[in-house]
Each structure stands twice: as structure tokens, then as C-alpha cells.
Amino acid sequence: MEKAFLRALERAKEGQELTHQDIKSLLAADEQESQLLFAHADWVRQQNVGSDVHLRGIIEFTNYCRQHCHYCGLRADNTNAVRYRLSEDDILATARLAAQCGYRTLVLQGGEDVHFSPEDIARITSEVKKMGVAVTLSFGEYSRDIYQLWRDAGADRYLIKQETADEKLYQTIRPGKKLKDRLQCQQDLKELGYQLGSGSMVGLPMQTLDILARDLELMRQMDVDMSGIGPFIPHPDTPLGNYTSGSVAMTLKMIAVARIIMPLVLLPATTSLATLAPNGRELSLRAGANVIMPNVSPQEFRAFYAIYPNKASSPDPINETRRRLIALIEGENRTVGQDFGHSPKAQFQQ
Ligand code: SAH
Ligand code: SF4
């Protein structure tokens, strides 16, 4: 085993704040070293956030998007995408069904779709809140005033991933956009009292170990409540369509190090990892993850929310999917979170 790896793991076990070099040494772990890394991350998870796994239902309510992200199949320029948006009534009916099934958090996710006005989103948010669930919103970059409007309407959390901590790579994959503006959105959301979800993709073209380490350090610095780390998966109808997917092994190492350096963070076993590895959810739960976010959108639309191809999604009705996931969680000797699953860092527990 590498000395640098063992030294960094030792420092982690002593509870020291890991340096950039430590993080890189952990991310460079080989297969055997990775087992030690995962075991420690699993221990940190148990000590800090216990055995609960939180289930969040995602409603992908629109796949229209005004943005041009080079990695994403929903980008405005992809004319092959079949577009849909749910009506307000259908969003609320979907949310009601998921709440009745037992979901205590619903995530409303979509492209940046100008068809929905800020007031529409505020109205939908307050209606969903009345169903007795926590609400996460996730549809990109808006002004602080608009985030304020949605917060006042009852939104608890906002998921807006940094995608990559490298300014240059960021500008390459999100043409016309700047990382600092994304981080300003994150800062605004935090100041408005949202629980902040960030995250990044693993295996982006031109990404180095140094950038991966900085991804984790940036999330630690932003003091995020949630970090969704998943592999990049190329979509053929995008400018990055000819690149290769991120690696399952590196994604798991990123999850494990995220748990170690941010012990209280909520860490999903991402759908993108489950897309690349049939047991991706189980592997993530063993490496520090404590959230699963199944799709609860109406079945007829699921295939069209193709941010990347073959996105793992069960064709089953949502109650069956939920039963299957509960069995998976219990099979891992874990428990299903019964409360809202708020960030342990959030001051306000509802
Ligand atoms: N439009 C919103 C939310 C929907 S996209 C936004 O962009 O913030 C949700 C996430 O999907 C993105 O944050 C990105 O990390 C992920 N994603 C998009 N394309 C992907 C791809 N090809 N491979 C892996 N993840 C991808
Ligand atoms: Fe739109 Fe989000 Fe896809 Fe970018 S990642 S094109 S903002 S849906």
C-alpha cells in the first residue's frame, strides 16, 4: 500500500482536517486501499448520522431547458429531445400520490423552463407543502428575489450542483456561464435559509485528480448540506457525446472522501451511479451515502427526462419501487428515515 494513502487515512482517523494533498492521496486509492477508505467512511457515517437512509421522491416536471450545458441531453439545442411539461394539476396529483406513498420529501426538478413563471412555482410549492412534506426545488439559476419568493412559499431546500470546481472546465462545459455566478446562487440560497444541495460529476473530459480534490474542498468550503456526486455519462446528442463515462470506482471514492471531510452531509446514492452499476446504490450506501432519490414522475414521461441515456428508472408504480428500495435498505442493515430528513446542520427542524 502507498505510504501517502496510509498517512492520509491515518490523519482522517485522527479526525484531522484533511489537506488538498491528503484528499488526493485518498482519491488515488487502488482497489485494496479503497476497501479501507470505504470502511472508514461507513464508520464516520454511522457515528455522525446513524443508520437512517432518507428516501426523497423526485418529480421531473419539465424537460424544456433554456441552457446549453455540453453534458446534458436536455440542452436547448438538442432537437432530438422529445419535450414535455406536466400541467400544474398533474404536478400536484403526482405529489399527492407520492406523499400518500410515504415520501416525506419531494424534489421538484426540471430544466430552466421559462413557461413556468416564478409565481407559478411559488403557488405549486405552497400547494405541495400543504401535503405535509419537505420541498426541495432544483431547476437552476435564478435571482435572489425569486429564490426569496420560493422560500417564502415554503421551499426548504434547493439543489444546484457546482458541477466542477475548475473555473476553466466549468466554462468549457457550460458555455457562457461562470462558476462564480453559480456559487453566488448557492450563497444567496444559504443566506435565505435554504438547505443547500450541491454536487459534481466525476469523469468529465479533461478532469484531473487535482480538480476532483478541489470539487470536494469547494463543497466543504461552501458548507453544503447535501452533495450529489455522480459519474458523467455521455449523451450522444450533445457535444460531449463521444467521451467515455466516469468510473464507478472513482465515484465511490469521491462519496467516501466527501463523507469523511463533511461528516454531517447528506449524500445520495445517485441515479447516475445506479445507471452504470446495477449494485451502485448498495455500493454507495456502504461507502458513506445516506439518501436515495427515486423517480416518482408519471411513468409515461420518465424516458423523456434523458439528461443522459438509459437513466436507471424503474417502470414500476411508485409504491412498488418504494417497497423495493425499503427492502434494499434493510438488506444493507440500514433503517428507513421516518422524519423529513432535514440536514442535521439546519437550525430549524420542522
Ligand atoms: N436544470 C437543473 C437541474 C436538472 S439537471 C440544473 O442544471 O441545475 C440535474 C443534474 O443532472 C445536473 O446538476 C448534472 O449534474 C446532472 N447531469 C446532467 N447531464 C449529465 C450527464 N450527462 N451525466 C451525468 N450527470 C448529468
Ligand atoms: Fe438544462 Fe440542467 Fe441540463 Fe443544463 S444540466 S441543460 S440547466 S437541465
Query: Which pLDDT tens digit goes with each residue over 53-76?
Result: 999 999 999 999 999 999 999 999
Tens of pLDDT, residue by residue over 165-175, are 999 999 999 99
Burial class of residue 146, CB neighbours in 10 A (0-12, 13-18, 19+): middle
Residue spans of beta strands (DSSP E) within the chain? 52-55, 57-62, 105-110, 134-138, 157-159, 195-202, 226-231, 291-292, 335-336
Mean pLDDT of the 220-233 span: 98
Check: CB of residue 158 under 8 Å from CB of residue 138: yes
Mean pLDDT of the 23-40 span: 98
Ligand nearest 307 Cα, by number? Answer: 1
HSE, CB side, 13 Å, CA atoms: give it for residue 297: 22
Q: How far apart are CA 73 and CA 63, in angstroms?
A: 9
**Is residue 100 classed as helix, strand or coil in its secondary structure?**
helix
Q: Considering only 157-171, 221-235, 243-257, 314-328, which range has the smallest mean pLDDT?
A: 314-328
| 55: phi then psi, degrees, rounded to nearest 5 | -100, 125
13 CA to centre of ligand 2 in angstroms = 38
pLDDT at 312 over 80: no
Percent of the chain with pLDDT over 70: 99
Q: How far apart are CA 109 and CA 138, in angstroms?
A: 5
Percent of the chain with pLDDT over 90: 95
- Residue of minimum CA distance from atom 13 in ligand 1: 161
Mean pLDDT of the 72-83 span: 98
φ/ψ bin of 231: left (φ > 0), alpha (ψ from -120 to 50), beta (otherwise): beta
Mean pLDDT of the 288-295 span: 97
Ligand nearest 140 Cα, by number? Answer: 1
Tens of pLDDT, residue by residue over 132-156, are 999 999 999 999 999 999 999 999 9
Strands 134-138 and 105-110: parallel
Tens of pLDDT, residue by residue over 177-188, are 999 999 999 999
Contacts with 345 (C-beta within 8 Å, 6 or more apart), sequence order: 195, 223, 225, 264
Residue 77 banded pLDDT, cuts 50, 70, 90 = very high
Q: What pLDDT, on a 0 to 100 scale, did the predictor assign at position 347?
A: 56
Q: What pLDDT, on a 0 to 100 scale, did the predictor assign at position 349?
A: 45
pLDDT at 334 over 80: yes
Pocket test for ligand 2, best of 238, 307, 308 (most atoms within 8 A of CB): 307
Q: What pLDDT, on a 0 to 100 scale, did the predictor assign at position 350?
A: 44
Mean pLDDT of the 248-276 span: 97
Q: How far apart are CA 295 and CA 271, in angstroms?
A: 9
Q: Which residues line ligand 2 (CB under 6 A)?
A: 65, 67, 69, 72, 74-75, 111-112, 140, 307
- Residue 66 CA, closest ligand 2 atom number: 1
Q: How far apart are CA 293 and CA 226, in angstroms?
A: 12
Q: How far apart are CA 108 and CA 137, in angstroms?
A: 5
Q: What is the mean pLDDT of the chain?
A: 96
Mean pLDDT of the 272-301 span: 96
32 CA to centre of ligand 1 in angstroms = 31
Check: CB of residue 26 under 8 Å from CB of residue 253: yes
CA distances from 125 to 98, 101, 191, 302 (A): 15, 19, 19, 21
Query: Which DSSP string do the residues of 75-87 spell out, in sequence order?
Result: -TT-TTSPP-B--
Strand partners, 198: 227
Predicted TM-score (pTM) of this structure: 0.97
Residue spans of beta strands (DSSP E) within 111-225? 134-138, 157-159, 195-202
Pocket test for ligand 2, best of 61, 75, 161 (most atoms within 8 A of CB): 75
Check: CB of residue 62 under 8 Å from CB of residue 113: yes
Pocket test for ligand 2, best of 64, 67, 182, 271 (most atoms within 8 A of CB): 67
Closest CA to 161 of 229, 251, 98: 229
For residue 272 and ligand 1, the question of a CB distance below 6 A is answered with yes
307 CA to centre of ligand 1 in angstroms = 6
300 CA to centre of ligand 1 in angstroms = 21
For residue 111 and ligand 1, the question of a CB distance below 6 A is answered with yes
- Residue of minimum CA distance from atom 11 in ligand 1: 307
pLDDT at 348 over 60: no
Contacts with 19 (C-beta within 8 Å, 6 or more apart), sequence order: none
- CATH code of the domain made up of 52-349: 3.20.20.70
